Amino acid sequence: MRIIEVLWSGPCTEEQVAAMNGASDRGLIAIYGSHPVFGSDALLFVDGTENPSDDEDDVERFADRIRRIRPWLDLLPSEPSIYLGRLGGTDPVTGEQWSSAISAAMRLTTFFHAPPWNARHVDHHRVVHPTVVVHLGRRHRLALEVSTLWDQSAWTPDSEEWKPFGS
């Protein structure tokens, strides 16, 4: 089983995030703000830094990502709250493993929380099984865990084999 641990911090301002270019400044970004249906302080968007090429020196940092989504943030009716999720653990990882974990964590987090401004990854997460994402620290409104384990269940609406205990 793959366990991805994400340590969240925040809230941060756009200006604070724009200065984050360090080696560990990669991971997930959660944007909270006003929404006409979900109200104030709603989870609006989940995103992740990317590795646009095979060159590990060409990885995207939080500062790069916030610059790319700034035009969207400027459309919000009030100042957003930005939370940052850095992946970590007890074992070192390669750059490729780190990028893969960022992608999987973003896909599962987006799928299970379905933020209204995310168009991708809400229909299916497309993450290899079994994977658990654990959200730690200042995760704000995110669930503590999201996983692919429900895909392993034998239950379906049409299942004739799955039965409640005692029946």
* 125 band by pLDDT with thresholds 50, 70 and 90: confident
Average pLDDT over residues 16-25: 95
Question: Beta-strand (E) ranges in the chain?
Answer: 2-12, 28-35, 39-48, 81-88, 131-137, 145-147
For residue 85, is pLDDT > 90?
A: yes
Q: What is the pTM of this model?
A: 0.88
Q: Please state, in angstroms and rounded to a whole number, the distance separating the CA atoms of residues 164 and 167.
A: 6
Tell me the domain boundaries of the chain: 2-152
- What does each C-alpha distance from 46 to 3, 138, 154, 156 come to in angstroms? 19, 15, 30, 29
Angle at 59 between CA 109 and CA 30, to 5 degrees: 25
pLDDT recorded at residue 164: 86
Specify whether the CB–CB gap between 95 and 52 falls below 8 A: no
